């Protein structure tokens, strides 16, 4: 199984960052703009990023701006979800927590957990300030 199937998608990673979710993960999407469109170049291990550059910021490489977004693993998102959150899978993911329940149509656990976290934030069941 490739790393892309174990982490949140670039689209979801970007939404989580915009929502204020802490950018702490083992892997990051490394992206740059190409003709005004954000393009994922690759997923990098956090220690592959130049140490003096904070991964959540951009840097200049070969004249291009490079941006980083946390590519969360399912376990990393499990630590951010409220305790008591339950997820199980049949043909889709079903998530249940104190704030309610939600059906999530995806095959990937990290994507399901990330979408649930985003839903909880948008519906004000979780405050980003309280995330670890």
Q: What is the pLDDT at residue 89?
A: 83
In 3-state terms, what secondary structure has residue 53?
A: coil
Structure tokens at 47: 């220690």
Per-residue pLDDT tens over the stretch 13-47: 999 999 999 988 999 988 877 767 777 777 877 66
Residue 97 and residue 100: Cα distance in Å, rounded? 5
Per-residue pLDDT tens over the stretch 70-121: 999 999 999 999 888 888 887 777 777 776 677 788 889 999 999 999 998 9
pTM of the model: 0.81
- Residue closest to 80 by CA, chosen among 32, 128, 15: 128
Per-residue pLDDT tens over the stretch 41-64: 778 776 655 544 444 455 555 556
- Residue closest to 104 by CA, chosen among 36, 9, 28: 9
């Amino acid at each position: 199984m490739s790393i892309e199937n174990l982490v949140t998608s670039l689209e979801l990673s970007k939404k989580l960052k915009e929502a204020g979710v802490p950018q702490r993960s083992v892997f990051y999407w490394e992206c740059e703009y190409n003709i005004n469109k954000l393009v994922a170049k690759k997923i990098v291990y956090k220690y592959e990023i130049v140490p003096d550059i904070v991964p959540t910021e951009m840097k200049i490489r070969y004249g291009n701006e490079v941006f980083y977004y946390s590519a969360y693993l399912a376990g990393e998102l499990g630590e951010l979800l409220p305790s008591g959150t339950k997820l199980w899978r049949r043909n889709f993911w079903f998530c249940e927590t104190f704030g309610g329940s939600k059906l999530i149509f995806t095959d990937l656990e990290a994507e399901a957990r990330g979408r649930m976290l985003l839903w909880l934030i948008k519906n004000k069941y979780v405050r980003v300030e309280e995330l670890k």
